[in-house]
Amino acid sequence: MKLIAAQILPVPGEYEKNIARHIEVIHQAASHGANLVLFPELSLTGYEPRLAKVLAVQPSNSRFDEFQRLSDRYGMLIAVGAPTRGAKGTEISMISFQPGLERTCYSKQHLHPDELPFFTPGTRKRVLSQADLVLAPAICYESLQPSHAEEAAASGAQVYLASVAKSARGTALANSHYPMIAKKHSMTVVMANCVGPAEDYVAAGGSSIWNSHGELVCSADAVNEALVAYDIQTGEASVFSIRYRA
């Protein structure tokens, strides 16, 4: 199974532009043989908490239907990020599309204190199954909490999908934490980070994949959009540049 972390530069608050870019990235990931492509936290809007309430949507929103068509076409799990309308407020969510299945939504359960004025935590645990693997979603801050990884491992997860929007400091913390949980729980860890402006900081890229022994197998730089790819079966790892049509 080939896993790809999509390191992108979202356009703040612009669904249609970001959806178009996601579609191009998915086609490129498919050309590299991806079975899964993971996008960063709030990838469809950019990480903009102050805009999130206005931008929040239902996971079933029809503007996302093309992701399902691409999932069916390529036999690929596609995981994108968006603010969604929850029962008690706006949630930070990962919406996943799988071939022949209904889309699913996982919402961030452990919020950073800075997020509490804008978001409410999700309450539902979730794992995904793709190509005989069990995968656990994790969204940014919660992916640095040891208890979250422990719950994922207890659920049988073999792959930990960390969708993030991290600054340089956050990326440094991730680079020390993820190898430890990968080794401890024998889970491959995929981190998809964004680049460029995000709220009042700059996202620091560095999207990476660690194998189940805790070894870093591939990583992107801090500024360029890229696809970070790892084949679990063969151990092959690569980083590809993202190219958009003019």
User: Domains of the chain: which residue ranges?
Assistant: 2-241
Q: How wide is the angle at C-alpha 53 spanned by C-alphas 138 and 172, nearest 5°?
A: 35
Distance CA 226, CA 6 (A): 6
The region that residue 39 occupies, defined by phi over 0 for left and psi between -120 and 50 for alpha, beta otherwise, is beta
Fold of the domain spanning 2-241: Nitrilase/N-carbamoyl-D-aminoacid amidohydrolase (3.60.110)
Question: Do residues 38 and 193 make contact, with C-beta atoms less than 8 angstroms apart?
Answer: no
Tens of pLDDT along the chain (246 residues) come to: 999 999 999 999 999 999 999 999 999 999 999 999 999 999 999 999 999 999 999 999 999 999 999 999 999 999 999 999 999 999 999 999 999 999 999 999 999 999 999 999 999 889 999 988 999 999 999 999 999 999 999 999 999 999 999 999 999 999 999 999 999 999 999 999 999 999 899 999 999 999 999 999 999 999 999 999 999 999 999 999 999 886
Distance CA 184, CA 180 (A): 6
Distance CA 9, CA 6 (A): 10
